[in-house]
Amino acid sequence: MNKIRKGDTVVVISGKDKGRQGTVLVVDGDKVTVENINKAKKHQKPRQGKAGPMPGGIEDKAMPLNISKVAIWNAGAKKADKVGIKVLNDGKRVRFFKSNGEVIDA
């Protein structure tokens, strides 16, 4: 079970985008892609595709970050927080915030 999942709100804890928040778009192993974080310029050549012509130009593309550079955002405490995993009495595994013990996904 991953501690960070698609759709979670995270905050970047190191690097050029330190302190910025965003929503996780993709989790791929130890890499995460966060909305509007770690943008890079992608130069696209114009070409003719099956769906019609594709224009060229320069577009901003969100690049993946290492999962260790992001922490999940605790909206209740208004800070970045560590996540733990525990098993409930009915055998269901859930994530919880380590600072206050609040369950993330019930």
Per-residue pLDDT tens digits for 44-99: 999 998 888 889 999 999 999 999 999 999 999 999 999 999 999 999 999 999 99
pLDDT at residue number 50:
84
What is the DSSP secondary-structure string of 12-76? E-SSTTTT-EEEEEEEETTEEEETTSSEEEEEE--EEETTEEE--EEEEEEPPEEGGGEEEEETT
